[in-house]
Amino acid sequence: MSQTPDSGLKIRVYNIAHQDYDGVQDIGNCVLSQLLPDAAERVVAVKIDDELLRATRDKEYNYQAYFSQLDHLNLGNCTEVLLASGGTVLMAEPEVVAQIRDQFFASQPDHCCRYGSLLVSSCKEGISKLEPSITVKIVDFEHQNEMERKVAKDLRTGDCHGKISPRLSTMLGGTADTPFQFRLANSDVNSPLPAFIAKGTVAVDRKRTENRGYDLVLDRSSIKGWAKNTGPMKVSQINNQWCLGFKDNLTPQQVQDLNYLPTILQNQGVSYQVDPTDNSYILNNPSKQVLDSLADIYDWGSDRIACGVYQMPGLVMGNNSNAQVQEYKNSWQLMQWYSPQAIEQDIVPATMAEAEYLKTIQNDYRLLSKYIVENHDKKQDLKNIDTEESDLEDPQDKDEFGLIEVLRADTRGELAHHPKVVSFCKDQLRRRWLELATKGANTLMSAMAQPAEVERGTIIASHLQNGTEVIVTRYPIINKDNIRRYVVDNEQVPELIDTKGCVFINPADAMDYHQCDFDGDQLVCTPADLLPHITAETRMALPQYDEMGNDLNRDFNPVVKKEKQAYAQSDLKHIALAVRLNSIGRIANAIGRVNCAQPNPEADVKDQQYFLKFKSGLMDTLFDSLQIEVDSPKSATRYTDYYQDLDKQLESPAFKLPFFDFKQDERVFNSAPMPVAQNGSVVDILPRYISQTWQSCELNQMRVEQFGYLLHKQENVLDEASKVTVNQLAKNILQQYNDTVKTAIREGNSDPKQVKQRFAQTYSSIKEQIMTAQLSSTAKDELAAHLWQKQHGNDSESQMRRKCLDICRHFDPTIYTYQKSEHEYQRDLRKGQPAYIIEAPFESSLFSNQDRRDCATYIKEILEAQGQNFEATLHPTKPCVQFAVKNIDPNCKLLFEPFHDPNIARHHDLIDINIAKQQLYNQDRTLYNQLFTFSSGTKKYNPISITAPRHMDWVLGQKSAKASLVFSVLPDRITKALGQEISKVEVLGKEQNAYAQHDFSSPYYQGRELNFTVLPFNDTTSDRHKDPIVYMQNPGDENYYSLGIFAKNSSKLPLSATFTGQVMMNGRTIDLFVKPGSIIVLEPKMPQSPKKLRSKHLRLEIKSTRQANAERLSAIKSRRKNREHTSQNPQKVIANLPFSGQAQTQLENQFEI
């Protein structure tokens, strides 16, 4: 048995939203890359734009508008649908389609839109094309023939579950005693069976594979893409003897068709006999061609792949993931079904401990960056089974990996104040606060579901102690009946006691309570003592049937599946989109809204009772609707086909809950806490606590030009040809990036997700250009430096700040006040709130008699002194701060009433840059250019945008250049530059600091080693406020005094850094020559995370349990061996077991060596 290495297939991506190609997609280590290693130019991935699919509520209109775009795609020779996977349709050349789709989905072509993902899902643990052949035993645990069912039971298969030999498992990256999720494809021309694909899980089992001559035991439930047997025959096979029996209740046409069977067999030259007991036909060694022909004539469907033993050459098999015990995020989908008291006692304490921990580190860059990196690393292992997450996926998440590596490399904190890094840290922090408010800090243990003949209401889990009570569920949670209590009983099947990463469960429990099969589904399985109050409110997994066979141990009526209807469209492109257009997320959220809605406590008692009855009926409708939408890949029906009035019912104000309205809002925990309903439900408990604890992050940022030093172009490191290539590529990249910026500004899209998606697509395209250019490592360094300098060498932000102050000084405006009936606050997201508005310019002579020109800052101080509740935001078109005051005090309002008249509030129209452009541009072009434009690079007249002085960092709504390009396309070049030895720094501003009178060129300082430290600059009126400033130790009194700030192009050290060096004057600049190895940046002490302590405790407990299970297993084996070799003495010696006698014998007899 040998392996074929993977080709690492990459295919082009076409984005419908932009009607253009958009980089490449890596689909290596999958079945398709093994079958078509050279298909890079023969397949195109077309990205579906869900926004267009949901453009209106008219489904047919959306269909037709989108189909029109699809029908006019120009993808060269890639004209046919190969498969669909999620939001992507793979189009391919007809020859490729014939090789793949027409083979694997021959009986049901539309299934390429349902199971196409099996061909492209990554088998990261290992994948191979197995040569020359392997021995496969195919069984069917649900076969109509009792004998076949017994064979499957003996081999312990189940729904999508089989067995694999240790040798084959090792080849595919499997580990000892660990099942794994697989992907499989049979398409070799010499295979005895027609082409098929399969998925599921396999357990390593030498006894049921190698010891019986098999490499793989495959249950037919794993095989996908084949229709059921709809013909008149019963088909089975043993040792290549095929038995063709007949079904009951045949139609006259079917009987007539069967009359032709002898003629067909004779014409094909098939040797056969007729069994006189049932008149079935026994075929001896029929050829593959004969069987394919009979299967086609008589509609065998999946029975063409009959149970039996086969030698299968060229089989492609991959290991998608090994089973492992994992921690999962908790979710509101679980918490919504429990009482407020249970959530308060089980979820709130851990969540608040984590929130307090987060608050202690969020304003220290180095602590926060370390936390973000650790959280990211944990997230790679921490699976999230909340199906809502797929809808929340950020289009820039791919860039997260590069930025994480930048944070990991920035051990000194050199980028602590870079705008892009600060923005990234704040966004990651916001997400964590949001997780705490919507999911809590508790994590749930989980493992891969596997079938076993165990007592109902019990499970086997080797990582848990015997007798442990657990809560088991599986996402998505339709209702509380999907959450059940079980008892761990590891001694029911001793041979499973050492299997890792699994939960063995009775298949009836898996299906009845969790809609779970065994193709890789993860079951949450959390010890009850971690959630004791939630456990007390959870039903046991023990059915209680009445005389009609109804399970009484339920909270809700069981959902009855609707009959499936085939898609009417004949075009596979249309079917791929129709499958995608479902409302699973909408209905799941609607279930939460309705379940958490509370009756109005002020309403009449009868009205409250009516509401609860209406709510109960609506919940049943929603459960039914969710099942309909979940079945959307298999059925053309949608919930609106059965419940036309449901959307209208959901529009009731009773279901407009802030939790569901704001849990995806990017403003939440960025500028404002999450709003909470007055008549709060259980999902409002965590947001209420977190909002009381949350504080906005106060990381300071510097202008991007202060970081230009990090990446510099080197002289004479490239030959002329390479220089030309790098310069041209840099020019193209900057043009593409700037075009994206201009488009985003021009379109003015207020949806941040769409803006991020556009930039993510641009970055992807740029990365592809860099890869295609095949640059050397040195050339990439030069390209990164070129792009970095272009983005970091622009001081336009400082110029715009000065221009805004020039406008204020020229026109000298007063303040202006007015009342708004509805104002959109940034720190309070509730809509429609009134506000008293005060527009205050950055500077004005209005308060010059009090020696104050900083008008906006002075107004802020007045409002604070008056105890007013206000919010200060940057005016979009005026160099002003807009103060929105809530419920302004009448006495305070009197202070500002004189400025309510716009005729009195002078010059406010003139300082509006939009009005100025209309009036001044034609009337006084010179004044307009002087005040409202600035020079940058080769362009003389750049329009300004409103930019506040840096010391006014309390003003909301400020934006600054982030210089994101290199972070997003070449982050490895940044990580390479961080942490380098610094030999010299340059300092400015000696004349304004403590050493103004010191002559550093004097003999006193020549050759003298001095000590330096870096601290924040403290001057609220300066643009350099909070920037790092160098302090020097005075050799005389050994105290530290301010020396100066870092020059713009100088290397920079972070706050709290200390170093030793020599000082030398260089004109107006002070050069500090750093002693090698003297730079010290103290590592801040990371507080101990309460979550980490809990995780450590769980890991130790699992390790201890596994060791105890291993010892118990070893004892059982030893006793079994002794019993076989000591037949003279029937008396057994039982040691270290909690039971004996008959129970002991039964336990040992179950274990087979």
What are the pLDDT digits (tens) for 548-570? 888 899 999 888 888 878 777 66
The predicted pLDDT at position 1110 comes to 64
Task: Kindly report, residue by residue over 306-331, the tens digit of the pLDDT.
Answer: 999 999 999 999 999 999 998 888 99
Taking the C-alpha atoms of residue 464 and residue 1153, their distance in angstroms, rounded to an integer, is: 24
Instruction: From residue 80, give the alpha-carbon distance in Å to each of 75, 141, 407, 572, 630.
Output: 10, 37, 44, 8, 27
Token pair 């077309």 is found at 46
Name all contacts of 954-959 with Cβ < 8 Å and 24+ positions apart.
Answer: 954/860, 954/872, 955/856, 955/872, 955/873, 955/874, 955/881, 956/671, 956/826, 956/827, 956/871, 956/872, 956/873, 956/874, 957/826, 957/873, 957/874, 958/874
Taking the C-alpha atoms of residue 1005 and residue 197, their distance in angstroms, rounded to an integer, is: 79
Q: Tokens standing for 109?
A: 């072509």
Taking the C-alpha atoms of residue 500 and residue 497, their distance in angstroms, rounded to an integer, is: 9
Percent of the chain with pLDDT over 70: 90
Does pLDDT of 156 surpass 90? yes
| Minimum mean pLDDT range among 129-138, 207-216, 389-398, 1037-1046 | 389-398
For residues 637 and 577, the answer to whether their CB atoms sit within 8 Å is: no
Place 1134 in a pLDDT band, splitting at 50, 70 and 90.
very low
Task: Kindly report, residue by residue over 905-941, the tens digit of the pLDDT.
Answer: 778 888 898 888 888 888 888 888 888 888 876 667 7
How much is the pTM?
Answer: 0.85
CA within 13 Å, CB half, 964: 21
Taking the C-alpha atoms of residue 69 and residue 498, their distance in angstroms, rounded to an integer, is: 55
Q: Residue type at 1032?
A: M
Instruction: From residue 181, give the alpha-carbon distance in Å to each of 123, 164, 322, 522, 728.
Output: 9, 11, 6, 11, 47
Task: Kindly report, residue by residue over 963-1018, the tens digit of the pLDDT.
Answer: 999 999 999 999 999 989 999 999 999 998 999 999 999 999 999 999 999 998 87
The predicted pLDDT at position 59 comes to 67
Phi and psi at residue 92, to the nearest 5°: -145, 165
The predicted pLDDT at position 381 comes to 64
Task: Kindly report, residue by residue over 573-594, the tens digit of the pLDDT.
Answer: 878 877 777 888 899 999 999 9
Instruction: From residue 268, give the alpha-carbon distance in Å to each of 235, 264, 272, 290, 633.
Output: 18, 6, 11, 7, 39
The predicted pLDDT at position 1137 comes to 36
